[in-house]
Amino acid sequence: MSSASESRQARVIDELRVFIKKVLSDPTIAVKSVEIARKYRDQPNANELIAREISANTNIRIPESWSDADRMFLDILDEVLDDEEALY
């Protein structure tokens, strides 16, 4: 693995660690995030709308220029909703 790739991977891991700490310190973040994702899921530019509202309503900040960790979080929200739909 190249040093640039290792550095990128370390940055993503650090971002995810901070995110996980925020979620564990405020359990309402997960619930709010899923509710927001559910609200915008089928709209054009859904991820942008979801990111903006999560940033406005929780202590999670998703900047306009998304990092790999931000994209991963939005992808995971989508997977959670896919799993939720599969149950019904």
Residue 83 has pLDDT above 80, yes or no: yes
Residue 87 has pLDDT above 90, yes or no: no
Q: What confidence score (pLDDT) does residue 1 get?
A: 61
Kindly report the backbone phi and psi dihedral angles of residue 78, in degrees, each rounded to the nearest multiple of 5, phi listed first.
-65, -40
pLDDT tens-digit readout, 28-77: 999 999 999 999 999 999 999 999 999 999 999 999 999 888 999 999 99
Residue position matching structure tokens 């929780």? 58
Domain boundaries, the chain: 3-87
Question: What are 36-45's contacts with CB under 8 Å, separation 24+?
Answer: 37/74, 37/77, 37/78, 37/80, 37/81, 38/81, 41/78, 41/81
Q: How far apart are CA 86 and CA 79, in angstroms?
A: 10
Residue 88 has pLDDT above 80, yes or no: no
